[in-house]
Structure 1
Amino acid sequence: MEYIHIQGSPKPVSRLMKGSDYFFHHSYDKAAANLDAFLAIGGNSIDTAHIYCGGQSEEVIGRYMQERGNREQIVILTKGAHHDQNGPRVNKEAIRADLSASLERLQTDYVDLYALHRDDPSVPAGEVIEILNEHVKSGAVRAIGVSNWTWQRIQEANEYAEANGLVGFTFSSPNLSLAKANEPFWSGCVSADAETCAWHEERQFPLLSWSSQARGFFTGRFSPEIRDNADLVRVFYSDDNWERFERAKQLAAKKNVSAIQIALAYVLNQPFPTCALIGAQTAEELQSCDAGSLIQLTKEELEWLDLATQKV
């Protein structure tokens, strides 16, 4: 397992991050077994959020850490301030309430990586930094970041932090995958485009990608004719993405791996620090991700996969 460093968190962060949006109390044994297997291959970072599974995701992780006594071995990424039926919630009270609930559910007194789940561009970025710095100062949060913010808003926030002697954002979690999104998967979501990636490369700013394998687009279960998954069709079906899939299969054959492993390697071989959030729920899926995370791709291969060149 490879790791990256995220400023503010003293622990190394495994480049594979275990997704937990299927962690429910009724299937606790499955979640615990999945986490045991993940730690066994060297993984240590877990992605969760205040809204996942109605709070059960965080509660399951909290129970697991208490039973195993391994809180200090684990890097928790959790998120708050997601909008509700009334609209955006990026404000002081919502952040405080969500973070407090997350800490209680996780049975811990700090979060390694805390991200705002959505943005509200009507709130000044500096105001958000001021709010989050209160929680950094209290020790409840080690590193602060964002999910589904544009690079322009992150830069605005960090310029404010630097000018005012405050802690800035040290990671971002948008979607980044070999398959490019036609439109947001969920309202308010952000996918990393070429401009975003160039910004991350220039600053070497860590990116933690959700839907890193495009929600199974590269598994071979889908084709232009198979259209039974409406969300996948809406977000990822395009001529360019089918060409990317064909190229992933060609490169996979040369390297004796699978196309979905090539798709994972695409995320992890970017010229800036990246982690890939994975949804592996079986031993086979986890082994595939583990092997895929070790594949090395050249700059030329990355460009070819992304249709920037015709030859590799």
Structure 2
Amino acid sequence: MDYVEIKGLDTPVSKIFFGTAWIHPGLKEDADEQLKRYIEVGGNVIDTGRFYFGGKAEDYLKVWIQENPELRKKVMFTNKACHHYVDENNIHFPEQQRVNPECIDEDLHFSLKKLGLDHFDIYMLHRDNPEVPVGPLFDKLEQYHREGKITVYGVSNWTKERIEEAQAYCKEKGYAGIAVNSCSYSLATVTKPRWERTVYATDEYAKWCTEQDITILSWGSQGNGFFGNYPFPKGTCVTQDFVDAFGTTANFEKFRRAKELAEERGVSTSNIAYAYIFNQDLKIAGITGCRNVHEFNNSLIGLDLTLTEPEIDYLALRKDFI
């Protein structure tokens, strides 16, 4: 396992975070096996959120923490506030916006109590609403940072412009400021987000974050399965939002080139796509969404692969040859 620094954290974080957006208690056996393997290879951060899988991800983690006290000592936790409402059946209600200081209060204390924790190592604003001033939001995050309930804080799915606005406010007030940014950064180019108010980083945006000493925590870091699942097996249900986000001429060409390099290396196409984000001069970690140990072990291959600069440019369609 490789590691990356996050300003404000004493312990470097593994470059792969254990994502829980797909987890619920009904998948306990698979999740337990995968988490054990994750920690075994040096993974040290579990990423979750109050509304992941309609709240059932935290239901699973509550039990896992209780049943695995020794493993729990080896990991840090990220959590998030201000996501729009999601019901217990995992139905999203994006019109019910919750980006305000009161929801930071509610979500933070709800999740701490549910998981039986006294603090989160990393805490983020899960969504943004540009109509809400940054000041009251970051006043609240800084308050909980100083109280010890949050070690470092940041944002998820915020634009560069809003981060700049927030950073300027934090600097003026003498706050710790944004340490992490959880956007989606991958080899894929997405021009139409799959979900309401989500942000997909460009190469330029990713480089800017590193220049600002903001560590990227990339969700969808393997293209939400595009580079692993296409062409899709017969009978696969492909949603329209997935097609709209990834089904472009540019992405199909990126897949072709990734497959070409994968065949030369004897690895999978998704390995090449994952290696793309790790082989640039970025402060970055990828959040996995693996469904089983086999998928997780496959992700580890991507972390270990080395790509040359010409190969990276070729994959990104900046050059037509290596």
1:21-44, Cα deviation, whole Å (9 max, x unpaired): 222223323222221111111111
Residue 35 of structure 2: aligned partner: 35
Residue 10 of structure 1: aligned partner: 10
For 2:171, what is the secondary structure of its paired residue? helix
Q: What does residue range 112-261 of structure 1 map to in structure 2 within 5 Å?
A: 112-222=121-231, 228-230=237-239, 231-261=241-271
Could you tell me which of 74, 87, 97 is aligned with 2:96?
Answer: 87
> What is the CA-CA distance between 1:87 and the residue it aligns to?
3.1
Instruction: Measure, in 1, the Cα distance between the counterparts of 2:242 and 2:53.
Output: 21
1:11-63, Cα deviation, whole Å (9 max, x unpaired): 22111111112222233232222211111111111111110122221232232
Instruction: Measure, in 2, the Cα distance between the counterparts of 1:80 and 1:263.
Output: 30
For 2:50, what is the secondary structure of its paired residue? coil
Moved more, 147-156 or 20-29: 20-29
On the 8 A contact 2:207/2:282 being kept in 1, the answer is: no
Residue 90 of structure 2: aligned partner: none
Correspondence 1:71 to 2:72: yes
Instruction: Measure, in 1, the Cα distance between the counterparts of 2:299 and 2:273.
Output: 10
> What is the CA-CA distance between 1:149 and the residue it aligns to?
0.2
5+ unaligned residues in a row in structure 1: which ranges?
none
> What is the CA-CA distance between 1:226 and the residue it aligns to?
9.2
Structure 1 residues 144 and 201, CA, compared in 2 at 3 Å: closer, same or farther?
A: closer
Residue 51 of structure 1: aligned partner: 51
Structure 1 residues 38 and 253, CA, compared in 2 at 3 Å: closer, same or farther?
A: same
For 2:161, what is the secondary structure of its paired residue? helix
For 2:263, what is the secondary structure of its paired residue? helix
* TM-score normalised to structure 2 length: 0.91
On the 8 A contact 1:248/1:262 being kept in 2, the answer is: yes
Correspondence 1:275 to 2:275: no
For 1:62, what is the secondary structure of its paired residue? helix
For 2:46, what is the secondary structure of its paired residue? strand
> What is the CA-CA distance between 1:300 and the residue it aligns to?
2.0
For 2:304, what is the secondary structure of its paired residue? coil
Instruction: Measure, in 2, the Cα distance between the counterparts of 1:123 and 1:103.
Output: 25
Instruction: Measure, in 1, the Cα distance between the counterparts of 2:130 and 2:281.
Output: 29
Q: What does residue range 96-115 of structure 1 map to in structure 2 within 5 Å?
A: 96-115=105-124
5+ unaligned residues in a row in structure 2: which ranges?
86-92
> What is the CA-CA distance between 1:311 and the residue it aligns to?
1.7
Equivalent pairs counted in the alignment come to 312
For 1:79, what is the secondary structure of its paired residue? strand
> What is the CA-CA distance between 1:156 and the residue it aligns to?
1.4
- What is the RMSD of the two structures over their aligned residues, measured on CA atoms? 1.9
